[in-house]
């Protein structure tokens, strides 16, 4: 990824930004003109650039996320979307404080650390403790309850790259489950190796959780090079002692919300196609690949799917809020929208190329599934052997209504280099790959939004 960004950063980007900025200063045209005048590639770039530049980080529950909702609603209206609405809800938020970590023995070393979402808090002056090193989450689980006696647990792991992101499930458990386990074992705090595949001094944040009855303890992640250092020092048999300051706080009842908008179909009586992404981001970076790109892709494709004429079915765009803290936006959407939907899709895996398509249709819709696969073939997209699932923001409504689903799988080889880090910034988005995403989504939406027959529940 760094190989291409050097070029893109300074050569392509200002040119593209200049090209894209101009049309948006014009008066907002009606839908047909809008989709004709603004090539979808530019709409997508403009959304990613706008969300990262003019909003920046938009942590769930924050004032920045509220600004992102206002920006999103205005943007959708400007692009010709109708029935644009902000649908508010409240969440259990996490407000970041001071994050600091340094080894004080066997040698002083400053570590790059981030608090995990819903971490317990240290006092402002921090805490100190010896490190109990666990090479795996399983090793920590094998320790007797209460045995850590106030130490700081360090949980290592061995996540590797995978094109489909398969490592995030198992190794992500270190972040999701590890802190709760460490607390039960008696740890005063816990630090994990970042759930990421890069070797930069940028730690990966993300949400953790403590089960009912388990005391939330301070929980942080250090960057991979820092985790390497801890592993080397631990392997030398010396005692490691850590000073840790993580002062962030969990706060109930924080304001959040979804932004929805529609491109009404020629037959508004038909259940709509739902395309989702999430608007919130972690606060360390500016959420370019997670998930401004997703909102850019689904929105630009929804518009571009109207190029040959308005689609038969309504396409509804969902820019979900507070995905990162536990899928609040998807839950709120499913609760608020009991009306029937035809099919749901989501984009939330970065901005690299779509390489795989998987679907979930009722047996009766086999031919529809085959048409989709065939339409994607010229774009380098191959059928996968698995079943589509949607994604956090659309899964609740999919579950509730047993919806048909199409998953356009993006290449995630480099996704976990950037995921939830300060490095999730605009320069990491490749305009050509973004455009390929929009093209693939457009092919699918042109098919599914023009299906006249009912789309059967996928069961």
Which chain residues interact with a copy of itself by CB under 8 A?
1-3, 5-6, 9-10, 13-14, 17-18, 21, 49, 52-57, 64, 106-110, 112, 158, 160-161, 197-202, 224-225, 228-229, 231-233, 235-236, 285-286, 417, 421-423, 425-428
Closest CA to 406 of 304, 275, 283, 259: 275
Antiparallel, parallel or unpaired: β 109-111 and 99-105: antiparallel
CA distance 225 to 111: 9
CB 290 within 8 A of CB 322: no
- The DSSP secondary structure of 38-86, one letter per residue, reads S-HHHHHHHHHHHIIIII----TTSHHHHHHHHHHHHHHHHTT-EEEEE
60 vs 426 by CB, closer to a copy of itself: 426
96 vs 304 by CB, closer to a copy of itself: 96
Q: Give the nearest distance from C-beta 59 to a copy of itself in angstroms.
A: 11
CA distance 159 to 394: 27
18 vs 30 by CB, closer to a copy of itself: 18
Q: Give the nearest distance from C-beta 154 to a copy of itself in angstroms.
A: 15
16 vs 456 by CB, closer to a copy of itself: 16
Residue 238: both structure tokens together: 């010396």
99 vs 395 by CB, closer to a copy of itself: 99
Q: Give the nearest distance from C-beta 97 to a copy of itself in angstroms.
A: 14
Q: Give the nearest distance from C-beta 255 to a copy of itself in angstroms.
A: 18
207 vs 227 by CB, closer to a copy of itself: 227
* Sheet of strand 82-95: strand arrangement: 82-95, 249-263, 315-320, 273-278, 343-346, 404-410, 354-360, 382-383
64 vs 362 by CB, closer to a copy of itself: 64
The strand pairing partners of 52, in sequence order, are: none
CA distance 301 to 363: 27
Q: Give the nearest distance from C-beta 319 to a copy of itself in angstroms.
A: 19
| Stated length of the chain | 459
Angle in degrees, CA 319, 60, 85, rounded to 5: 35
Element (H, E) at 184: helix 178-184
Q: Give the nearest distance from C-beta 309 to a copy of itself in angstroms.
A: 35
231 vs 456 by CB, closer to a copy of itself: 231
Element (H, E) at 332: helix 328-336
**What is the rounded (10 degree) CA torsion for 152, 157, 162, 164?**
-50
57 vs 306 by CB, closer to a copy of itself: 57
49 vs 322 by CB, closer to a copy of itself: 49
Q: Give the nearest distance from C-beta 432 to a copy of itself in angstroms.
A: 16
Residues 6+ apart with CB under 8 A from 238: 105, 106
List C-alpha distances in Å: 429 to 7, 245, 395.
Answer: 12, 33, 26
Helix, strand or coil, per DSSP, at residue 275: strand
110 vs 374 by CB, closer to a copy of itself: 110
CB 413 within 8 A of CB 349: no
Residues 6+ apart with CB under 8 A from 151: 129, 130, 131, 132, 186, 187, 188
Q: Give the nearest distance from C-beta 238 to a copy of itself in angstroms.
A: 10
CB 200 within 8 A of CB 226: no
Q: Give the nearest distance from C-beta 50 to a copy of itself in angstroms.
A: 10
Q: Give the nearest distance from C-beta 115 to a copy of itself in angstroms.
A: 15
251: alpha, beta or left? (left if phi > 0; alpha if psi -120 to 50): beta
Q: Give the nearest distance from C-beta 53 to a copy of itself in angstroms.
A: 5
Q: Give the nearest distance from C-beta 285 to a copy of itself in angstroms.
A: 7
Antiparallel, parallel or unpaired: β 249-263 and 315-320: antiparallel
């Amino acid at each position: 990824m760094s190989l291409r960004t050097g070029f893109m950063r300074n050569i392509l980007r200002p040119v593209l930004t200049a090209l894209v900025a101009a049309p948006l200063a014009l008066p907002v045209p009606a839908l047909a003109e809008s989709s004709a005048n603004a090539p979808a590639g530019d709409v997508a770039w403009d959304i990613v650039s706008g969300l990262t530049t003019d909003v920046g980080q938009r942590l769930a529950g924050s004032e920045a996320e509220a600004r992102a909702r206002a920006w999103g609603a205005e943007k959708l209206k400007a692009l010709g979307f109708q029935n644009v609405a902000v649908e508010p809800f409240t969440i259990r938020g996490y407000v970041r404080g001071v994050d600091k970590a340094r080894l004080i023995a066997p040698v002083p070393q400053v570590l790059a650390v981030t608090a995990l979402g819903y971490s317990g808090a240290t006092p402002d002056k921090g805490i100190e403790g010896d490190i109990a090193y666990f090479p795996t989450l399983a090793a920590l689980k094998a320790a007797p309850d209460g045995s850590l006696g106030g130490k700081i647990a360090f949980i290592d792991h061995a996540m590797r790259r995978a094109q489909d992101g398969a490592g995030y499930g198992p190794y992500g458990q270190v972040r999701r489950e590890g802190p709760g386990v460490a607390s039960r074992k008696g740890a005063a705090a816990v630090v994990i190796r970042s759930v990421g595949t890069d070797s930069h001094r940028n730690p990966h944040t993300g949400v953790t959780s403590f089960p009912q009855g388990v005391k939330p303890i301070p929980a942080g992640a250090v960057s991979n090079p820092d985790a390497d250092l801890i592993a080397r020092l631990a392997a030398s048999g010396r005692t490691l002692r850590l000073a840790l300051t993580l002062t962030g706080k969990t706060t109930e009842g924080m304001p959040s919300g979804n932004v929805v908008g529609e491109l009404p179909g020629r037959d508004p009586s038909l259940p709509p196609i739902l395309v989702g992404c999430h608007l919130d981001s972690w606060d360390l970076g500016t959420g370019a690949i997670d998930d401004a790109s997703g909102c850019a892709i689904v929105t630009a494709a929804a518009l571009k799917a109207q190029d040959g004429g308005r689609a038969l079915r309504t396409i509804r765009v969902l820019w979900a809020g507070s995905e990162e803290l536990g899928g609040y936006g998807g839950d709120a959407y499913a609760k608020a929208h009991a009306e029937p939907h035809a099919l749901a899709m989501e984009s939330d895996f970065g901005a690299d190329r779509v390489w795989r398509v998987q679907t979930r249709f009722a047996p009766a819709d086999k031919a529809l599934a085959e048409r989709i696969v065939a339409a994607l073939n010229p774009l380098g997209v191959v059928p996968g052997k698995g079943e589509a699932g949607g994604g956090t923001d659309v899964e609740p409504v999919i579950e509730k209504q047993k919806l048909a689903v199409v998953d356009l799988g993006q290449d995630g080889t480099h996704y976990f280099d950037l995921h939830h880090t300060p490095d999730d910034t605009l320069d990491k988005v490749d305009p050509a790959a973004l455009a390929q995403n929009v093209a693939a989504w457009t092919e699918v939406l042109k098919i599914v939004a023009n299906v006249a027959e009912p789309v059967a529940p996928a069961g």
